[in-house]
Amino acid sequence: MGWDVPWVSSGDSTFDPDMGVRGGFGFNVFLRDGDDVLRTYFTRGRGVEAIGSVWSILDRTPFGRQETWEDSPPGVPQSDPYVWWDLHDRYPA
């Protein structure tokens, strides 16, 4: 599909305990602003159960779904709901 998503792993590091995760799963959302990295959302344990779909993940990110009804900062692209998504078999070659 041509996506460029930088996935990373915290395996073999102290990241999890440094971020408050001791055993189990933790969900972090970060925002980079120049050289600053800010943790904008975190949950663990039973709090992760509410995260089940793409929409619930996007709703926890700093810029959300980037739809016209959201209060996004200047320069953040916004569009009408659902015009930016494509079905898996309809991406350009």
pLDDT in tens, the chain (93 residues): 566 778 778 888 999 899 988 888 888 999 999 999 999 999 988 888 888 887 888 888 888 887 878 887 788 778 887 777 777 777 777
d(CA 59, CA 46) in angstroms, rounded, equals: 18
Spatial contact of 31 and 40, defined as CB atoms under 8 Å apart: yes
- Residue 86's identity, in one-letter code, is D
Question: Do residues 82 and 65 lie in contact, with contact meaning Cβ atoms separated by under 8 Å?
Answer: no
User: Where in the chain are the domains?
Assistant: 1-68
Residue-level pLDDT at 39: 95
State which H helix or E strand residue 64 sits in. Answer: none
Looking at residue 2, what is its pLDDT? 67
